[in-house]
Amino acid sequence: MGYCGSRNGLTIAAPAAHAVLKKELGILTDWIGILKEQTANGDEMGREVPKMLANPDISETQVKTLFAALEKQADFAEKLRLALEKFGHDFPIIKAAERLEERYADLAASAAEKLKAMRK
């Protein structure tokens, strides 16, 4: 369901475009499905980002691109959490969305630290 694109050799997870289900009376968004997919993407990024940042051949441009992508994912995760709250999902679902948001924020922070170190 998701799309993984590549920019400057880095895999970037993007929100699923197919997460919207058409219903007879309108459109119903599969928020739980989106959360599951984004959590899987977050798990993968949690494994891959440290490897990318540890690569001695990574360029400053690649780190900037990675940071921007991770910030975008953190913003998306925040919007997802807010939507889950708005539509009254249970506490464990909200907590899972919070963990996803925190994961992307932490990954973005690690990319920012790498960028800072590269500029010294």
DSSP sequence for 89-104? --HHHHHHHHHHHHHH
Contact 51, 66 (CB under 8 A): no
- Per residue in 10-56, pLDDT (tens digit) is 444 443 333 333 333 345 688 899 999 999 999 999 999 999 999 99
Contact 11, 65 (CB under 8 A): no
pLDDT level of residue 120 (50, 70, 90 thresholds): confident
pLDDT mean across residues, the chain: 82
Q: What is the pLDDT of residue 108?
A: 97
Alpha-carbon distance values, 18 to 34, 90, 94 (Å): 9, 24, 22
Local structure of residue 25 (DSSP, 8 states): T
Beta pairing partners, 86: none
Residue (of 62, 69, 77) closest to 114 by Cα position:
62
Alpha-carbon distance values, 114 to 41, 51, 98, 117 (Å): 22, 12, 24, 5
What pTM does this model have? 0.76
Locate the domains of the chain by residue range.
Answer: 3-118
